[in-house]
């Protein structure tokens, strides 16, 4: 192949796309060369799609790349996704989101190999998630949560976790605890209590997001919110937890979950200084004051 700068790579892709006999081993090198040119010619501050290759701006490649998203070969789909991501081609979002659907591979006749024979391949939904990450499409996080993080596929869930972390989308994902689908709420809860997901720097922002859901109108989310707060929150979450027991529709199950969450927060604060606010038994709703540096449940705050 001649030097990529002298070639009309976009024209070559169009010809290959229109040739029904074109083989993947002929298409893939052209896609890789186009990706390499995008990276090689990048200039800080320059819109990536305006980079010129062979005399043409890379944005001219977007339509044919979108067409390649329907290819039957997963490697071709992967390279098309990657380039679209690097080009920040948001007009391709509908096509990328369509690849996240469970039915998409079968509809596009994309064959998924036996699980132990697919090392090194990227499934179509994984490729689409990588593209969304590259283009910083944070507005798609709710869809990533409901379709990928809550997927039946362990592989898809794993990729979604990585993608959401890389997109700095964990606090936004936490808002999906309000989803009416119990399967989605369970997936978000499991995601947030993973110690590799929420680090110390991210904890306050995630806590604030979960508390906002706890205080919101989605009553079905309160138990999940309480369990998450019990695992990762600070003492600041105690009052919102207790307050959620004051409204209508509170049952014994929610009281038990909140009580456990409050005690779990409390167990991480044995170093409380005298005079600091303690957490209390969620059933009584009472607060106490730490004595002699200890932080312990207030079993009956009314007794002397």
Each of the 304 residues of the chain gets a pLDDT tens digit; together they read 344 444 689 999 999 999 999 999 999 999 999 999 999 988 888 889 898 888 899 999 999 999 999 999 999 999 999 999 999 999 999 999 999 998 988 888 888 876 665 666 789 999 999 999 999 999 999 999 999 999 999 999 999 999 999 999 999 999 999 999 999 999 999 999 998 899 889 999 999 999 999 999 998 999 999 999 999 878 888 999 999 988 777 889 999 999 999 988 888 766 554 444 454 444 444 444 343 333 344 444 444 3
Structure tokens at 3: 């030097």
CA nearest to 82, candidates 92, 22, 185: 92
Query: For residue 212, what are the β-bridge partners?
Result: none
**What is the tens place of the pLDDT at every residue in 145-169?**
999 999 999 999 999 999 999 999 9
Residues 6+ apart with CB under 8 A from 221: 177, 178, 179, 185, 213, 214
- pLDDT, residue 92, reads 97
Q: For the chain, what are the domain ranges?
A: 1-136, 170-269
- pLDDT, residue 296, reads 40
CA nearest to 240, candidates 266, 210, 260: 210
- pLDDT, residue 111, reads 80
- pLDDT, residue 271, reads 58
CA distance 100 to 84: 16
Contact by Cβ (8 Å): 152, 121: no
**What's the predicted TM-score (pTM) here?**
0.82
Give the side-chain half-sphere CA count within 13 A for 230.
19
Residues 6+ apart with CB under 8 A from 144: 100, 129, 132, 160, 163, 164, 169, 173
CA nearest to 129, candidates 77, 178, 181: 77
**What is the tens place of the pLDDT at every residue in 44-66?**
888 898 988 888 999 999 999 99
| Angle value at C-alpha 267, between 263 and 272, nearest 5 degrees | 115
Residues 6+ apart with CB under 8 A from 203: 232, 233, 234
If phi > 0 it is left, if psi is from -120 to 50 it is alpha, else beta; for residue 206 that is alpha
């Amino acid at each position: 192949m001649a030097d990529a700068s002298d070639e009309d790579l976009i024209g070559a892709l169009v010809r290959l796309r229109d040739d029904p006999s074109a083989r993947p081993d002929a298409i893939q090198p052209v896609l890789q060369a186009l990706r390499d040119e995008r990276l090689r010619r990048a200039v800080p501050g320059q819109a990536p799609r305006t980079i010129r290759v062979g005399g043409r701006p890379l944005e001219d490649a977007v339509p044919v790349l979108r067409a390649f998203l329907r290819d039957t070969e997963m490697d071709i789909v992967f390279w098309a996704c990657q380039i679209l991501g690097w080009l920040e081609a948001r007009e391709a979002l509908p096509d990328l989101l369509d690849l996240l659907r469970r039915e998409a591979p079968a509809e596009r006749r994309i064959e998924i190999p036996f699980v132990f024979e697919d090392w090194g391949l990227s499934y179509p939904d994984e490729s689409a998630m990588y593209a969304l990450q590259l283009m910083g499409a944070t507005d798609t996080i709710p869809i990533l949560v409901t379709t990928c993080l809550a997927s039946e596929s362990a592989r898809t869930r794993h990729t979604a976790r990585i993608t959401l972390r890389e997109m700095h989308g964990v606090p936004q994902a936490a808002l999906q605890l309000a989803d009416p689908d119990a399967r989605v709420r369970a997936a978000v809860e499991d995601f947030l209590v993973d110690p590799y997901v929420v680090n110390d720097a991210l904890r306050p922002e995630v806590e604030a997001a979960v508390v906002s859901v706890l205080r919101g109108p989605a009553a079905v989310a309160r138990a999940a919110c309480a369990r998450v707060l019990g695992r990762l929150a600070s003492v600041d979450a105690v009052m919102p937890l207790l307050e959620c027991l004051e409204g209508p529709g509170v049952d014994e199950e929610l009281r038990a979950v909140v009580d456990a969450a409050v005690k779990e927060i409390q167990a991480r604060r044995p170093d409380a200084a005298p005079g600091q606010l303690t957490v209390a038994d969620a059933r009584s709703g009472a607060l106490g004051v730490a004595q002699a540096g200890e932080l312990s449940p207030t079993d009956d705050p009314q007794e002397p």
